[in-house]
Amino acid sequence: MVFFRSVSLLSKLRSRAVRQANLSNSVRWLQIQTSSPDMDLNSQLKDLIPEQQDRLKKLKSEHGKVQLGNITVDMVLGGMRGMTGLLWETSLLDPEEGIRFRGLSIPECQKLLPAAKPGGEPLPEGLLWLLLTGKVPTKEQVDSLSQELRSRATIPDHVYKTIEALPVTAHPMTQFATGVMALQVQSEFQKAYEKGIHKSKFWEPTYEDSLNLIAQVPIIASYVYRRMYKNGKTIPMDDSLDYGGNFAHMLGFDSPEMKELMRLYVTIHSDHEGGNVSAHTGHLVASALSDPYLSFAAALNGLAGPLHGLANQEVLLWIKSVVEECGENITKEQLKAYVWNTLNSGKVVPGFGHGVLRKTDPRYTCQREFALKHLPDDPLFQLVSKLYEVVPPILLELGKVKNPWPNVDAHSGVLLNYYGLTEARYYTVLFGVSRAIGICSQLIWDRALGLPLERPKSVTMEWLENYCKKAAA
């Protein structure tokens, strides 16, 4: 989506715009700012919000009764799969193309968003700007946002004490979510709401909380990592580094390639439209006017589930089990036998399939390209490449899988493991840090657009049986 005020302005932008895919029968244009950029993200939002509020009102008044499809019993019983029921502005997931951030595919983001070095991976701050404004930022705007986030990245002592109250053996996601909850006492939204702020201004303290939270989560996440795996020896932030580079640095990894990997990782894991468990949970909790800290902590608890964010650790553990049993030089025939044994034992092959996608996840593809560039001879990467050839045909042969292709989790663990981050139990925390950018961006727009409390209707099996009997009569 893009924002423009008049036809005359659009005509001026066309020479500097990137043509977007035709979504919903419309051509979308995205502004790339190149002259006299406004460095203040907040002021840009203030300009954008009124026209988007008017757009929402018009959509509701003119098309509020238009049907978007039929709801079937299968959808009700099947986790609402395929049911359109949420407004999520920051990204859209296409079953064939994969994710688009404000209309931009991952390859387009890699090409257009500013990087730390020429030809490098996109900076997560650039994606944050894109998600909030619908505009590709300049390098100067991204640098300004990086500096602002660093200035917000302070953690009160009580947060560390709260984490320290947990056993060091507690799951990293438990410690991470606890730290986020401990931050909640500083919520600007809660303070403003208690003082009676008008609902038209809800987005302003939400913005403050959201940027504070995005700035703070890498510090909490790295603290948990260093506490669990490095004897509690923490590493302070480097004021010269960007968001992804600093996260890698605070974890204890200072190689240029690891910093580049973290920039890519955070960017591609940031948002995946609104229907996944963590994004939907954050939106649902926030719809009750819970502040961003409460909402994001709830999202993290959803992310920690084995069917969502925890899957990335399961992939690496499964791949290592293959190596332990069959060796690094396993042949494709041996690998096929191992995969069949896994499936026949009632287990799944982690890292394959997706609830929406019907093709190879482009997040997998860009990680594969990173591996081909930086670690083509790594044995685990070569094993992942063999799995890409072996697993989909087997899953297709089973005939029970709608999408046999690899997803984002199939590759990330191998990359992290190569650069020394070998603790698979921690991987979901990295996912959580990334997801703060997408969830908080949409949450700001939830408040700006005045989206209501989420309250779908539920029914019993008896109600469904009776309804179906009447429908058949």
* DSSP annotation string for 241-263: S-HHHHHHHHHT---HHHHHHHH
Q: Determine the Cα–Cα distance for residues 350 and 424; give it in Å rounded to an integer.
A: 14
Q: Which two tokens stand for residue 421?
A: 């981050």
- The catalytic position among 209, 291, 409, 446 is 409
Q: Which two tokens stand for residue 86?
A: 């949420």
> Where do runs of H (alpha helix) occur along 157-275?
157-164, 172-183, 188-194, 203-229, 243-251, 256-269
Contact between 309 and 432 (Cβ < 8 Å): yes
Q: Which two tokens stand for residue 243?
A: 């968001």
Q: Residue 105: in which H helix or E strand, if any?
A: strand 104-105
Q: Determine the Cα–Cα distance for residues 178 and 187; give it in Å rounded to an integer.
A: 15
- The catalytic position among 354, 361, 411, 446 is 354
Contact between 330 and 452 (Cβ < 8 Å): no
SS3 assignment, position 321: helix
The candidate with the shortest Cα–Cα distance to 407, out of 470, 466, 346, 355, is: 355
Q: Determine the Cα–Cα distance for residues 348 and 352; give it in Å rounded to an integer.
A: 9
Distance linking the first and last C-alpha atoms of the chain: 46
Q: Is position 308 annotated as part of the catalytic site?
A: yes
The candidate with the shortest Cα–Cα distance to 309, out of 340, 270, 261, 345, is: 270
- The catalytic position among 308, 361, 411, 446 is 308
Half-sphere exposure of 393 (CA within 13 A, CB side): 10
Residue with tokens 């799951």: 171
3-state DSSP helix/strand/coil % of the chain, to nearest 5: 60, 5, 35
Q: Which two tokens stand for residue 379?
A: 């044995």
Contact between 172 and 429 (Cβ < 8 Å): yes
Q: Determine the Cα–Cα distance for residues 213 and 236; give it in Å rounded to an integer.
A: 18
Q: Is position 269 annotated as part of the catalytic site?
A: no
Cβ-based neighbour number of residue 288 at 10 Å:
11
Q: Give 466's DSSP letter.
A: H
Q: Which residues pair with 246 in a beta bridge?
A: none
Q: Which residues pair with 92 in a beta bridge?
A: 100
Q: Is position 47 annotated as part of the catalytic site?
A: no
Q: Determine the Cα–Cα distance for residues 217 and 431; give it in Å rounded to an integer.
A: 11
Q: Active-site positions? A: 308, 354, 409
